[in-house]
């Protein structure tokens, strides 16, 4: 199929003995066309395997798609949120000549009002579509209901809110990611080694997410080691600063010397593992995300496994989903779980050098 040099509407017109105007009417259900000619044109479309040239169409229509992104701010290039951004930038760049344009907005994780302010700014821009990381659930719900009112399509990225009319969710299966973390940590521990789950929370983001991850983690052990006598504890540290984290860890480890493995439910594993190295503790560590700090610690051997959720790819995919919707009216799967890559010291370089 599609072997013969692609057919144009002119070819169709010749075949059906009509003008390209009539072809256009049939193709776009515009104006009236006599039954006989319509039949003939449809036959031509079928016989000649016509596929409109997207380039010419784009040029002719001169449409523009403005998409806005709303993500947590990437304080440094080291932080996780710079990665989805890279993906979005790359994606939009690839569709630039197709009329796609990006306006990126950021909100602070320690300030809900910054979310609202930026969401309002986006509404003011009246974009064609929105890519949103809905880490503040309540504010996000308000935002998307306004988007729905205005018929602006939106996709969730990295975090999901269920039962909304988003085009798609592109991101990890949170529960699955915890489950896999459980499997990996278990594989490097003895059967009675105690485990600590560390939930570091930067701001006021929805804590339900970490709870789901933790559930997945615990479920692994429930299903696979039901009679294990180990303890699995968890602490929540409302900070990501090294000083504060270290203080709480010290307190905890002194009281709980049986801990042999740590699962860090966000991208801050390197903070924990640096602490271990500093104090000569031989604990196993599993965490998330290939941020630079984690890469270093993985290579050092202070982190055993990192689970990565293809952040760059998430951004790319979100843009593609919007584009396909704009141009082809294609409805994506409503949930697109990204692969959860298992990264170890030995394969980390392949991941870094690629994207």
Partner DNA sequence: TTTATATTCGTGTGCCCACACACTTTTTTA
Partner DNA sequence: TAAAAAAGTGTGTGGGCACACGAATATAAA
**Residue 353 binds to a second copy (criterion: CB under 8 A):** yes
> Contact letters (x/-) for a second copy, 39-78, by CB under 8 A?
------------x-xxxx-xx----x--------------
Q: Beta-strand (E) ranges in 201-276?
A: 232-237, 259-264
- Enumerate the H helices of 170-241 as residue ranges: 174-187, 208-224
**Cα distance between residue 6 and residue 73, in whole Å:** 46
Q: Strand order of the sheet with strand 232-237?
A: 232-237, 194-200, 259-264, 284-288, 305-308, 341-343
Comparison of 59 and 110: residue with beta carbon closer to DNA: 59
**Residue 90 binds to a second copy (criterion: CB under 8 A):** no
**Residue 306 binds to DNA (criterion: CB under 7 A):** no
Name the one range near DNA by CB under 7 A: 27-35, 82-90, 209-217, 247-255. 27-35
Which residues share a beta bridge with 155? 131, 168
Name the one range near a second copy by CB under 8 A: 17-25, 151-159, 182-190, 267-275. 182-190
**Residue 39 binds to DNA (criterion: CB under 7 A):** no
**Cα distance between residue 308 and residue 97, in whole Å:** 32
Please report, in angstroms and rounded to a whole number, the separation of the first and last CA atoms in the chain: 33
Q: Hunting for tokens 């690839």 — which residue is that?
A: 94
**Least distance between DNA and beta carbon 143 (Å):** 30
Q: Hunting for tokens 């072809």 — which residue is that?
A: 23
**Cα distance between residue 259 and residue 255, in whole Å:** 10
DSSP state of 248: H
**Residue 279 binds to a second copy (criterion: CB under 8 A):** no
Looking at residues 50 to 109 of the shown chain, list those that interact with DNA (rule: CB under 7 A).
50-53, 56-57, 59-62
Q: What is the enclosing helix (H) or strand (E) of 169?
A: strand 168-171
> Contact letters (x/-) for DNA, 182-221, by CB under 7 A?
----------------------------------------
**Residue 32 binds to DNA (criterion: CB under 7 A):** yes
**Of positions 15, 22, 68, 158, contacts DNA by CB under 7 A:** 22
For residue 90, CA distances in Å to 28, 55, 93, 321 come to: 32, 20, 5, 14
**Residue 252 binds to a second copy (criterion: CB under 8 A):** no
Q: Which residues bind a second copy (CB under 8 A)?
A: 2, 5-6, 51, 53-56, 58-59, 64, 96-98, 173, 176, 179-180, 183, 187-188, 336-344, 346-347, 350-351, 353-354
């Amino acid at each position: 199929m599609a072997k013969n040099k692609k057919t144009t509407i002119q070819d169709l017109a010749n075949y059906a003995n009509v003008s390209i105007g009539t072809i256009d009417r049939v193709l776009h259900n515009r104006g009236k066309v006599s039954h006989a000619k319509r039949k003939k044109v449809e036959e031509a479309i079928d016989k000649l395997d016509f596929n409109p040239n997207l380039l010419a169409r784009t040029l002719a229509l001169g449409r523009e798609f403005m998409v806005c992104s709303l993500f947590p701010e990437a304080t440094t290039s080291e932080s996780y949120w710079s990665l989805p951004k890279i993906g979005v930038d790359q994606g939009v760049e690839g569709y630039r000549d197709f009329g796609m344009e990006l306006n990126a907005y950021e909100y602070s994780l320690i300030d809900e009002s910054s979310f609202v302010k930026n969401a309002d700014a986006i509404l003011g821009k009246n974009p064609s579509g929105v890519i949103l990381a809905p880490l503040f659930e309540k504010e996000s719900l308000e935002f998307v209901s306004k988007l729905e009112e205005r018929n602006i399509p939106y996709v969730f990225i990295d975090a999901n809110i269920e039962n909304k009319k988003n085009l798609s969710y592109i991101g990890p299966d949170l529960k699955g990611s915890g489950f896999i973390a459980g499997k990996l940590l278990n594989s490097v521990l003895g059967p009675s080694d105690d485990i600590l789950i560390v939930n570091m929370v930067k701001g006021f983001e929805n804590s339900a997410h970490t709870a789901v991850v933790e559930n997945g983690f615990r479920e692994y052990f429930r299903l696979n080691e039901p009679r294990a006598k180990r303890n699995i504890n968890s602490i929540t540290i409302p900070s990501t600063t090294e000083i504060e984290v270290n203080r709480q860890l010290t307190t905890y480890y002194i009281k709980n010397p049986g801990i042999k493995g740590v699962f860090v439910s966000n991208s801050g594993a390197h903070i924990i593992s640096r602490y271990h190295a500093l104090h000569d503790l031989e604990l196993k560590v599993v965490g998330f995300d290939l941020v630079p700090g984690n890469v270093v610690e993985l290579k050092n051997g202070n982190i055993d496994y990192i689970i990565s959720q293809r952040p760059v790819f998430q951004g790319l995919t979100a843009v593609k989903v919007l584009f396909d919707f704009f141009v082809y009216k294609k409805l994506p799967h409503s949930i697109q779980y990204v692969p959860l890559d298992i990264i170890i010291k030995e394969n980390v370089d392949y991941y870094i050098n690629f994207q």
